[in-house]
Structure 1
Amino acid sequence: MVRLPLTPAEVERGQRLGALLRRARGERSMLLTALDAGVSPETLRKIESGRVATPAFPTIAAIADVLGLSLDEVWAEISRSDAAVRLAPSERRLAS
């Protein structure tokens, strides 16, 4: 199976997701968070660093649950600037 390159919007969403998870984890150990979520610490590290921009839904759901984040919160954070990306340049100026 050939994986298509990520779009700039997908990369940006992955970076926002990683930042959200890092903030929510706070001082909590990455190792304990990953183990509690049932994922490897390496997977969590890659998601938090943005290296895995499109992780599987069950993975994100498990991590969010461990961190006390609702999926609505996660979605709101990662999709917050997608509307601006879809606007034409002239519309972006009007929306700002």
Structure 2
Amino acid sequence: MVRTPLTPEERERGERLGRLLREARGGRSMAEIAADAGISAETLRKIETGRAPTPAFFTVAALAGALGLSMDDLVGRCAEAAPTERAAA
């Protein structure tokens, strides 16, 4: 099965999600958050760096829970960043 290439907007959204998760992690280690979320530290690293721009919903939900974020808050923060980033481009 051939995967359709991601659009620039999808890549941008993945990078934005990664930044938000990294900021929410603060001083806690990747290994700690990944373990709390039930994923590997490598998966978290890929999400935070934008190399995995379309993580599964349940992965994002698990990370939000481990970081103490509500899904509504996470979606809202991603949406708030979008117009600013487009204006800067």
Q: Same fold (TM over 0.5)?
A: yes
Partner of 1:42: 42
Larger Rg: 1
SS in 1 for 2:39: coil
Say if 1:14 and 1:50, in contact at 8 Å, map to a contact too.
yes
- Deviations for 1:2-39, whole angstroms, at most 9, x for unmatched residues? 11100010011001100000000000010011011000
List 4+ stretches of structure 1 deviating above 4 A.
none
With normalisation by structure 1, the TM-score equals 0.82
Residues in 1 aligned to 2:19 and 2:67: alpha-carbon distance in whole angstroms: 13
With normalisation by structure 2, the TM-score equals 0.88
Structure 1 residue 77, shift from structure 2 partner? 2.2
- Deviations for 1:39-71, whole angstroms, at most 9, x for unmatched residues? 000000000000000000000000000000110
> Does 2:64 correspond to 1:64?
yes
Across the aligned residues of Structure 1 and Structure 2, the Cα RMSD in angstroms comes to: 1.7
* Structure 1 unaligned blocks of 5 or more: 86-91
Q: How many residues align?
A: 85
| Identical residues among aligned pairs (%) | 59
* Structure 2 unaligned blocks of 5 or more: none
